[in-house]
Structure formats: C-alpha cells, structure tokens
Amino acid sequence: MAVRVVCHDLTKHFPPRTLFRGVSVTVEPHSLFAVTGRNGAGKTTLLKIIAGLVPSSCGSVHFSDGGRILSLGEIRQTIGMVAPDLALYDALSGLENLAFFAEVRGVAAAREQIAELLELVGLTKRRHDPVATYSSGMKQRLQYAHALLHTPSILILDEPTSNLDSAGAQVVYGIMQRQRQHGSVVYATNDAREVALADAILQLD
C-alpha cells in the first residue's frame, strides 16, 4: 500500500484562540514528514486531526491509495500512533496488551509478529510483567510495538524519543527508516537531529 495523506486548508479553533489556520500539506508515500513549531503551536493537535482522533474546525484530511480514497475502517488499519497522552493498559502485561490489540485489530499471525516486535523494542524479558511496573521509557517502547503491530502505512509520532535513552532513540530512528521503505512517518518534534531526518518539514507558528 502506498498511502498518500492530503490535508486541505485545516484550521483549528479553541475559542477564543485559533491554534492554526489554513494548513495544507501532502504526506507522500515513503517519506518522513516533520512538524515543528513552538510549544502550543498545535503540533499534537494537528497529528490527532490526521489520526482522526480530533475533528478540525475547518478543512479536510484524505487518505488515498493510488487515487482511491480510503474508508474510515481502512484508515484505522493504515495508522499506527505513538504519543505521550496515549497509554496502554497498566493492569495487563506487555504481552497481553499486544495480544489484545492484535486480536481486536484482527492481525493475522499475531504471535510471531508480537514476539518479533517485543524483540525489536527490547522488552522480551519483561513481556510478562504488568505495564504498571514499566518505566516511562519502557512504556514508550511498548507503544512502538503496539503501533507497529498491524504494519501500518502511516506512522504518526508525537515527540518520538521524548522518554527514551540514547539506545531507545536509536531503536526509534531505525523504526522510522524501516517504516519509510513501506510507508511514511509523520512526526512532531523540535529536536534538531530528528528534524534533520525529514524529507519534508511543516513549521507551525
């Protein structure tokens, strides 16, 4: 799947404030797209609008594959997201969380996929521990495993390495480069190293 994301004239109001106005961007397949801007510029909100979690005040977002507009159900299968305000279930173990989301998403060959992803993010040894016992960095690693579970075409990352140590950050950069080969990454960051990885940059003022 080569999914293109087209945002047309997006505006978001939080009355009496307008967060951003008239944002029109296209995220091409096989690209890394960075969204930068000062705190409060609306980076997180823009990512949530693209993910369909927050409605825009004006404008539209379309996902297309070879000219065909994707349905809501297809979009859900297309997106994987990691963000600080998303959380997994503390009462369940890392493995149980991934098994639950794999089942609810209808992922085929989930067991192998989960084992591979846990290995990728370095949580194989702690897979049976409740998420409540994980550090914030480990929780973020698990979020990456969750986001990649259904092999999404669009990976949406808000502050991709905010809670991670340098080893964790390297894993994330690897994930982003790997993702570019079969899809694209939209990420919000103010980290110069991460901005430098981007193929296209949107600066929100």
Q: List residues near other proteins by CB under 8 A.
A: 51, 53, 73, 76, 79, 81, 83, 85-92, 96, 100-101, 103-106, 130, 146
Residue 118 or residue 198: which is nearer to other proteins going by CB?
A: 118
**How far apart are the C-alpha atoms of 196 and 193, rounded to whole Å?**
5
- Which H helix or E strand runs over 9? strand 3-14
Q: Given the complex with other proteins, which of 142 and 198 has the nearer CB atom?
A: 142
Q: Smaller CB distance to other proteins: residue 3 or 81?
A: 81
Least separation, in Å, of the C-beta of 80 and other proteins? Answer: 8
129 vs 134: CA distance, rounded Å: 8
Min CB(41)–other proteins separation in Å: 21
For the CB of residue 96, give the shortest distance to other proteins in the complex, in Å.
7
- Nearest residue (CB) to other proteins, 10 versus 88: 88
- Beta-carbon-side half-sphere exposure of residue 163 (alpha carbons within 13 Å): 17
Helix %, strand %, coil % of the chain (to 5): 40, 30, 35
Closest CA to 102 of 87, 86, 80: 80
CB of 32 or CB of 88, closer to other proteins: 88
The C-alpha atoms of residue 106 and residue 196 are separated, in whole angstroms, by 36
Q: In the complex, what is the shortest distance from the CB of residue 37 to other proteins, in angstroms, rounded to a whole number?
A: 22
Beta bridge partners of 4: 64
Q: What minimum distance in Å lies between the beta carbon of 143 and other proteins?
A: 8
